[in-house]
Structures are given as C-alpha cells and as structure tokens.
Amino acid sequence: MTCTIEEAKRRILNKLSWDEDGASEPIILWGPPGVGKTELIVSLVCDRMLKDLEAQFISEGKELDNSSEEFKQLVAGYEKTKKVLEFDHVTHELLELISPHLLVIRLAERPIEQLQGVVVPSLSENYARFVMPENLAKIKNSSWGIIFLDELDKASDSKFGAATHILENNVIGDFHLPKGWITLAACNREEDSHLSNPVPPELRNRAANIEIDQNLNSWIKWANKKQIRPDIILFHKFTHGEWLAKYDLEQTYAFPTPRTWAKVSRTISNLEKKLNPISIEEKLSFYDRVVRGEMEDFVGKEAATAYYTYRKLYLAYPIDQILNGTKKIPTEKNAINTSSLISEQCTAAFAIADQLTVEHLRPQGSSPEQQKFLLGNLIGFIRDLMPEIRTIYLQSIHKTRIMHIVLDSGMADDLIEEIVAYIASA
C-alpha cells in the first residue's frame, strides 16, 4: 500500500533506533522521481541534529549569565544553526552541516570499491583483507548517522550483492558499522524509469519496503511549511492535483513533480525581486513574457500553460476592484459557453478567497456606510457565482474569518443569513 511522505517518515522512525545496536531495520523507499525521497532522509538527520543542538544549548547556556556577551554569542550561534537545519530546500550549506551524519552513495556512479572496500593482500601474513574505503572515514568520527544508498534500481548485479550485505548486516567489506549508524536505500519503481533494473527479490526480502506516492493534501501541508508560493498551492487545489506530478516515460524533457514545482516557486520569486512588477498590467506582462518560458524549463509546456492560464485569470480579479464594484465576473447571462464560465468563475472564486481579509471590508478610518458598500459588493460577487461554485468558494475561506466579517458587518439581510447557512453546512 502506498503512503505519503509524512506516513513514510513515521514508518521509518518506528523501525529506527539510534542508540540500540542492531535494533534498526533496513529500509528501501520506493517511489517516482521528485516525490521527495532524498529530502525525507535529509529531514531525518536534521531532526536528530536539532534535538542534539537544543540539548547542547541548554547544557552550555545554564552555566552562563543571560546578560553576558558569551551567552549572546551562544544564542546567535544556536539560532543560525537551527535556521539552516529547519530548511526550506536543500542547500550546499545544509549538506555541509549534516555531512558528518549522512553519507549518500549513489550506486549508479560509485565504483564497487566504495561499497566493499579494496582487497589488499598481506604477503607476510599470507592473507587478504578489505581496506575501508575513504568515503567511510567520517563514520569513525561520528557517533550516529545514516548511510543512504540512493538510486538502488540503477545498480549492477555486483553492486546489488554489496547492497544486500550492507542493508542486512550493516557491514561494508570487513567494516562493521558502529552503533548509531543505520542504512537506508531508495529507488524508482520499474514503471518510473527506462533505466531501472529489477531489484532482486532476495534483496527486497531483507528490508522493509515503503512505497511513496503523490498525495495533494500531504503536499499542501509540506508546501506551506516550505514556503512554496501561495498561487502555486492554490493552482494545485484548483486543479485537484492534476498537474502536481505527471511522469511519462515517453517524455524526454521537463515534466511536473513536487520537486520541479518547488524549483518553479523559487524561480518566480527570484524573478519578481529582480523585475518588481507592481500593477496588474505589469504582472500579466511579466507572466506572459518571462514566467511562462521559465516554467516550461522545469515542468514542461502543458503544465506551464495550465498554470499560466489559471494565473492570468487569477490576476484579473484583484480584491480591491471586486469590492469597489469596478470588476465583475461573467455570469450565465453573458457567458460565451458553460465550460469557460465554470473555469473563470472557479478561478475568480479562488482568487478572491485567497486575497480577502477582514481589513479589506473594514479599512482603517472607514465609515459604516463605506463598510456596508464594500460588503455589499462582496455579496454581489458571491451572488453572481453559480451555486456549486459558491459552495466551493465559501469552503475555501477560513470559516471563522468569514463568520467574523459577517457578524461584525452590522447587516442582517437575507443574503447574510444565506452565507451563514452555507458556512454551517460546509
């Protein structure tokens, strides 16, 4: 049974023991490209390092005067390291920081010697032994960590044999991994890649096999935590995750995955900082001239076009223009066709739901008459929505926030009661 990244992390932790020798079970993670397998392993190391960091801070801090310069330096160092470990995305700084506790071995590009050591004869003693590979030197200097065998499905037959030995026995060549070091592996399923080799059943049988797949709700939680752009999150909500991941073996170039959407988010934000589009016209032009092409580089033409179409409609409905009555949505009376009406009304509903705050309806210094005018236009906007979209719209806004707006409006007409009824049934 497939599981989300969050569920996979819980399952790994249930099988993991940093402190008891031989208590951890070997694990193989299965899943499509870009689902977050490597980042999951990094997060396991970061979580443990954060606990150690906090314990060290408490231990060192209790001996110092809180007003002393030494204590201030300790706090500054703690906060700086903590910020890196609570990562939004994997950076060189993060990898450097966690390197004493994480050894990543990509089986496709590593020679067999780095998995089993080099056989060195001893003529005087008349025997041969495996000499520890250089990449394992860090293990001797760290009390705990993870050896991560990435791209297990890209391994050759000889490397499969070495991987089996590592996973089952925590042994590399003649070197036994010390207590506190565990081994995990990750691979794509055969349907995910032309380059995948079938992982031998005897290897799979020696490990817990956890299969990860896409889940929209789980990804939204992750995206909010990792500060993915709200408009990208809303796009995937709007399309019910249709474009979150579309991996086609016949697609030779860019395609959408959670990983590539995170790259899109960073790219758009960086471009906005450089070009600083302000007006609606500038933003529309910015997405048309710059963003669309940049997105194609990461998620492919079809996904970029779907997002661009959504974003173009989203930008066409700024909250201020809706509330002051200068912008109206198309209705069944003036729509060209039902399909385009549903699409545009849904996008407009998501756009306004995303932008609306109490402050929009009760601007600082505004009179009761002005507030009534603004709320009246919002009510008009809701009234113009098709019934099924109106329900989706009201479910998209935080219920207590809308209730707060309604109850504080001072208005008690039939439509207010209708809104309250929708909220109660949502």
> DSSP assignment of 264-308, as one string?
HHHHHHHHHHHH---SHHHHHHHIIIIIHHHHHHHH-HHHHHHHH
Q: How far apart (Å, rounded) are the C-alpha atoms in residues 212 and 37?
A: 8
In the chain, % of residues over pLDDT 90: 12
The whole-angstrom separation of Cα 168 and Cα 30 is 18
Q: Are 285 and 344 in contact (CB under 8 A)?
A: no
> How far is Cα 315 from Cα 360, in angstroms, rounded to an integer?
17
Q: Yes or no: say if 134 and 105 are a contact pair by the CB < 8 Å rule.
A: no
Predicted local distance difference test score (pLDDT) of residue 389: 76
pLDDT on residue 412: 43
Note the pLDDT tens digit of each residue in 365-423. 888 788 778 878 887 888 888 877 776 666 655 444 555 555 555 444 445 555 555 44
Q: Which residue has the higher pLDDT, 393 or 244?
A: 244
Inter-residue contact 175 to 17 (CB < 8 Å): no
> Identity (one letter) of the amino acid at 237?
K
Interatomic CA distance for residues 8 and 136, integer angstroms: 27
Structural domains in the chain, CATH included, are 5-211 (3.40.50.300), 216-425 (no CATH)
Q: What local confidence, expressed as pLDDT, does residue 170 receive?
A: 79
pTM: 0.71
If you average pLDDT over residues 306-318, what whole number do you get? 81
